[in-house]
Amino acid sequence: MFKSSRFPIYYKGHPRMFVKDKPIFWWALKWVHARFIIRELTSVPVAFYAIILILQIRALSLGPEAYANFTNWLKTPLSLSLHVISFLFVIYHSVTWFNLAPKAIVIRIGKNRIPGLVITGLNYVAWAIFSVAIAWLFLNLDNLM
């Protein structure tokens, strides 16, 4: 394993290779690197919301009283600030994810490769459709059930 240290390390078989020391906060020095780390860290708010969903399902399963406690907690400043921050991060996650999708997905029709712009566009269309559908479901749930 490579281990950074204050001194170059030489390996057997790689006599001329040495590992340069890198500061821990190397990514904070350049905006492109910081943006990369921010993008990777969007996974934390994603996990945060997954945990909120688990707590919501738990509260629902325990009954109306537990659920009222849960929704009261959602109104606290702590919860609201966590949700605002997480919302900004998950939007950033969606945008960066869809924009990178053409790099991961290669679809061909016959010999022609579908252009990346089309793949990204389809992702945004799907995003819009699902968002509207879920918002509609929540707004009309009391009439539907």
Under the rule (CB under 8 A), what is the footprint of another protein?
A: 1-4, 22, 24, 27, 37, 40-41, 43-44, 46-47, 49-54, 56-58, 60-61, 64, 67-68, 71, 74-75, 79-80, 83-84, 86-87, 90-91, 93-94, 97-98, 104, 123, 126-127, 130-131, 134-135, 137-139, 141-142, 144-145
CB of 114 to another protein, least distance (A): 17
The three-state secondary structure class of 112 is: strand
* Residue found by looking up tokens 């819009």 in the block: 128
Query: Between residues 117 and 142, which has the closer beta carbon with respect to another protein?
Result: 142
113 bridge partner residues: 108
**What own/partner pairs with CB < 8 Å and gap ≥ 24 does 35-41 have?**
38/92, 39/92, 39/93, 39/96, 41/89
